[in-house]
């Protein structure tokens, strides 16, 4: 980590790293405290919150690894570097969240049938400590350049859900201390699990979309094709458009049928500048053609080229 890149990105990466590391330590320590407290007091809501903190710590650990991987230079085997690992980490993390949710809900349902004695005061102290720890991690994460990075965002999302989880555990402890009504504990543990489920589901959807080479949600390909032909007079039509994300950065390839230009390279730059200015796509590969392309769709899914030709002659 000693050598950060000279451009501005390096400094923010470095501060992100420090913040992530601090948040990870805080979370891991308090997760252990909550597990011990949950077992001692017999509270499921505390264990649910600890389960949440576990995925939280995992999220932070993955984000830390991702920052490391993002710095590894691309090579001939991995031409995009290792940026996609961050997305894979987010995906695995989301799966872990969903599994933990199921375990907690299962145990909560069991406890409705066999109520479990709970020490209210022990539970209260631990839950309040957990809340303080969560506030600390959230503050650490939100100071960073977290808005733009899926990992910091994922981690901050976890911690936010955690805050609500700790609040739930505190509420259950208050009820138990005041009234001695034990079923409040499994009820609130289920509520905490729903929070976990929500953030997990969103994360799963986003990361899976990126792993399946989905088009970034902000970009409308049909609109982009029309705009290119309208705004650049030499461009007749645009086809074979592919846009996907690698580590949050859009990459694009396209074919453009053009009127033979006076200056080929100038036209190429014009297309690339347009996409950078209007769509923030920095990496575009353009294939320029003077005749109409024989196929209107790409041959990725067609199998062999003979098949593709047979298909088009029909």
pLDDT of residue 146: 46
Q: What per-residue confidence (pLDDT) applies to 155?
A: 67
Q: Both tokens of residue 7?
A: 């451009």
Domain 221-313 has CATH 3.30.1360.30: no
Task: Count Cβ atoms within 10 A of the Cβ of residue 135 and give its class: 0-12 exposed, 13-18 middle, 19 or more buried.
Answer: middle
d(CA 96, CA 98): 5
* pLDDT above 60: residue 145: no
Q: Model confidence over 170-209: pLDDT tens digits?
A: 888 899 888 888 888 888 888 878 877 877 888 888 888 8
Residue 308 banded pLDDT, cuts 50, 70, 90: very low
Strand partners, 287: 255
Q: What is the mean pLDDT of the chain?
A: 79
- CB 278 within 8 Å of CB 250: no
Given this model, what pLDDT does residue 34 score?
87
Amino acid 151: pLDDT: 63
Q: Per-residue pLDDT tens for 159-180?
A: 776 777 788 888 888 998 888 8
Contact 131, 20 (CB under 8 A): no
Q: What percent of the chain has pLDDT over 70?
A: 83
Q: What is the mean pLDDT of residues 20-25?
A: 88
Cβ atoms within 10 Å, residue 88 = 16
Is pLDDT at 231 greater than 60 in this prediction?
yes
The vertex-76 CA angle with 266 and 265, nearest 5°, equals: 5
Q: Per the structure block, which two tokens stand in for 219?
A: 């970009």
This prediction has a pTM of 0.67
pLDDT at residue 148 greater than cutoff 60: no
Q: Which residue has the higher pLDDT, 9 or 203?
A: 203
pLDDT at 51 over 80: no
State the fold for domain 8-211.
Alpha-lytic protease prodomain-like (1.20.1510)
> Which of 9-23, 38-52, 89-103, 228-242 is the least confident region?
9-23
What pLDDT does residue 152 have?
A: 67
Q: Where are the domains of the chain?
A: 8-211, 221-313
**What span, in angstroms and rounded, lies between the C-alpha atoms of 59 and 97?**
10
Lowest-pLDDT range of 15-29, 47-61, 217-231: 47-61
pLDDT number for residue 25: 92
pLDDT, residue 4, reads: 38
């Amino acid at each position: 980590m000693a050598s950060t890149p000279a451009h501005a990105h390096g400094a923010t990466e470095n501060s992100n790293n420090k913040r992530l590391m601090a948040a990870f330590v805080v979370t891991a320590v308090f997760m252990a405290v909550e597990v011990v407290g949950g077992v001692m007091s017999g509270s499921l809501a505390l264990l649910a919150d600890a389960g949440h903190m576990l995925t939280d710590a995992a999220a932070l650990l993955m984000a830390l690894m991702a920052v490391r991987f993002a710095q590894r230079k691309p090579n001939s085997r991995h031409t995009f570097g290792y940026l996609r690992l961050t997305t894979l980490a987010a995906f695995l993390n989301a799966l872990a969240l969903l599994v933990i949710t199921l375990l907690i809900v299962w145990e909560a349902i069991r406890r409705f049938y066999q109520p479990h004695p709970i020490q209210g005061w022990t539970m209260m102290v631990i839950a309040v400590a957990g809340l303080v720890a969560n506030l600390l991690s959230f503050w650490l994460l939100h100071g960073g350049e977290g808005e733009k990075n899926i990992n910091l965002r994922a981690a901050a999302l976890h911690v936010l859900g955690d805050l609500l989880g700790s609040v739930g555990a505190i509420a259950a402890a208050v009820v138990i201390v005041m009234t001695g009504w034990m079923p409040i504990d499994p009820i609130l543990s289920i509520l905490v699990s729903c929070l976990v489920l929500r953030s997990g589901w969103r994360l799963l959807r986003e990361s899976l979309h990126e792993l399946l080479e989905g088009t970034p949600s902000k970009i409308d390909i049909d609109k982009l094709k029309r705009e290119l032909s309208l705004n650049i007079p030499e461009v007749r039509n645009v086809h074979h458009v592919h846009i996907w994300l690698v580590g949050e950065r859009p990459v694009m390839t396209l074919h453009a049928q053009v009127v033979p230009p006076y200056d080929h390279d100038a036209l190429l730059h014009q297309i690339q500048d347009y996409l950078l200015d209007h769509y923030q796509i920095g990496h575009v590969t353009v294939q320029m053609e003077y005749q109409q392309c024989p196929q209107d769709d790409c041959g990725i899914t067609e199998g062999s080229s003979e098949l593709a030709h047979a298909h088009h002659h029909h």
